[in-house]
């Protein structure tokens, strides 16, 4: 078992986000996490990394109960770019990770090169475009060589070239026995990397495997389109 959520209940400011929800991941692959804004995608990722704590339920990673040490060693979480420090350069962010995780500096540089981030690493983050921030965040997530990679809207603000770079990086990870759970509204791009989805509806997490001729957008519209 790679990831297991059992009987999860979480409320925020009196609003129910999850009610006795469950999900299971048993095989390394890329999985999409899909729902409209406000349905709990980021909340779920925060719960899976211990940043939030459920009112009830059990979360396990890699057949173990969650712990800070386990998350530190095995999980990488790409959050939104508010976690970046605008007064630091991209390189300073990577230097910090290199020191904390005792990473090989050349391996870090190689990943930055693969995502074509090298040219702007010595600039302060305050000067970055949205796409540059997204690429830096992805480099930061990949350099720690996670077993589980959680990505919260990593495709925002990316131009077609950057989207292709990210897509290739994700597909490469899937060949390295890394489990990727990726939250995104870019359903066309998600369809290029996975047919396996978790949809959040009715405070539950529903797993679906779409067929080769199915459309993620059509499934999304069937689940979430407003009724007239």
User: What average pLDDT score do residues 27-48 get?
Assistant: 96
37 pLDDT higher than 70: yes
List the CATH number of the domain containing 10: 3.40.50.300
User: What average pLDDT score do residues 208-225 get?
Assistant: 92
Question: 89-117, pLDDT tens digit by residue?
Answer: 999 999 999 999 999 999 999 999 999 99
Mean pLDDT, the chain, integer? 93
The distance of Cα 66 from the centroid of its chain, to the nearest Å, equals: 18
Instruction: Please tell me the predicted confidence (pLDDT) of residue 159.
Output: 87
Instruction: Please tell me the predicted confidence (pLDDT) of residue 228.
Output: 45
Residue 188 belongs to domain spanning: 3-224
Question: 166-182, pLDDT tens digit by residue?
Answer: 899 899 988 888 999 99
- Nearest-angstrom CA–CA distance, 28 and 48: 17
Phi, psi of 145 (to 5 degrees): 50, 65
Question: 65-88, pLDDT tens digit by residue?
Answer: 999 999 999 999 998 889 999 999
Asked whether the beta carbons of 30 and 177 are under 8 A apart, the reply is: no
Asked whether the beta carbons of 95 and 136 are under 8 A apart, the reply is: no
Angle at 140 between CA 47 and CA 37, to 5 degrees: 40
Question: 133-174, pLDDT tens digit by residue?
Answer: 999 999 999 999 999 999 999 988 788 888 998 899 899 988
Instruction: Please tell me the predicted confidence (pLDDT) of residue 174.
Output: 85
User: What average pLDDT score do residues 194-201 get?
Assistant: 96
As for how many domains the chain has, the answer is: 1
- Nearest-angstrom CA–CA distance, 57 and 143: 31
User: What average pLDDT score do residues 54-75 get?
Assistant: 94
Three-class SS state of 138: helix
Q: What are 97's two structure tokens? A: 């990770």
Give the position of tokens 């809207």. 153
């Amino acid at each position: 078992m790679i990831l297991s959520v059992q009987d999860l209940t979480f409320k925020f400011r009196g609003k129910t986000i999850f009610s006795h929800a469950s999900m299971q991941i048993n095989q390394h692959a890329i999985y999409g996490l899909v729902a409209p804004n406000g349905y709990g995608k980021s909340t779920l990722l925060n719960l899976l990394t211990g940043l939030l704590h459920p009112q009830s339920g059990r979360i396990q990673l890699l057949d173990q109960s969650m712990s800070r040490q386990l998350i530190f060693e095995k999980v990488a979480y790409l959050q939104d770019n508010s976690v970046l420090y605008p007064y630091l350069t991209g390189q300073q962010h990577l230097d910090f990770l290199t020191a904390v995780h005792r990473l090989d500096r050349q391996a870090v540089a190689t990943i930055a090169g693969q995502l074509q981030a090298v040219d702007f690493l010595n600039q302060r983050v305050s000067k970055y475009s949205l796409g540059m921030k997204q690429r830096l965040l992805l480099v930061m997530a990949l350099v720690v060589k996670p077993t589980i990679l959680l990505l919260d809207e990593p495709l925002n603000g990316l131009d077609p070239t950057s989207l292709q770079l990210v897509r290739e990086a994700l597909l490469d990870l899937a060949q390295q026995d890394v489990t990727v759970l990726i939250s995104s509204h870019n359903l066309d791009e998600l369809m290029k990397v996975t047919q396996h989805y978790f949809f959040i509806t009715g405070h539950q997490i529903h797993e679906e495997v779409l067929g080769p001729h199915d459309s993620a957008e059509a499934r999304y519209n069937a689940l979430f389109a407003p009724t007239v």
